Amino acid sequence: MSTALHEQPYLESWRWMSRQIRCALDPDEPRLIEHYLAEGRYLACCTAMSAWTVAETSFRLLIDTATDTALPWHWRSLCLDQAWRPLRDMERLSLCKCRLERWQSHAWRLATCSLLPSIPLIELVQGFPDE
């Protein structure tokens, strides 16, 4: 069996979990984030997918989700609380100057991230009135 065939089901599963996280499709299931990160670790160690790519993709997903004010506050907070994990992996993998600089910019983004309040559901449904 080729590596690509072996990788495909795990990659599809990982991508589906990323959409569930990014869109907060199940915001009352915090284990989804742990499962997503574990699936990424599997892809990095057991397939041809780069560990750096997995870590950076995971970090960006979590930080982008955390800063999306259209999503529920508790989900955004949970994503922010877990963003350090892929960032730690990126630090370990920063073996060249360009990766170290990318890691530093991501670390700065996490360190300076402040969560704005989520948009109330009623405003999302009704939209903003004309002024």
- Tell which wins on pLDDT, 80 or 10: 80
- Contact status, residue 1 vs residue 47, Cβ threshold 8 Å: no
Q: Which of 2, 104, 19 is nearest to 64 (CA)?
A: 19
Distances from the Cα of 124 to the Cα of 6, 42, 49, 65, 119, angstroms: 41, 37, 38, 17, 7
Give the lowest-confidence range in 42-46, 59-63, 125-129: 125-129
Q: How far apart are CA 94 and CA 120, in angstroms?
A: 40
87-126: per-residue pLDDT in tens?
999 999 999 999 999 999 999 999 999 999 898 877 656 6
18-32: per-residue pLDDT in tens?
999 999 999 999 999
Res 1: pLDDT: 45
Q: How far apart are CA 59 and CA 73, in angstroms?
A: 18
pTM of the model: 0.86
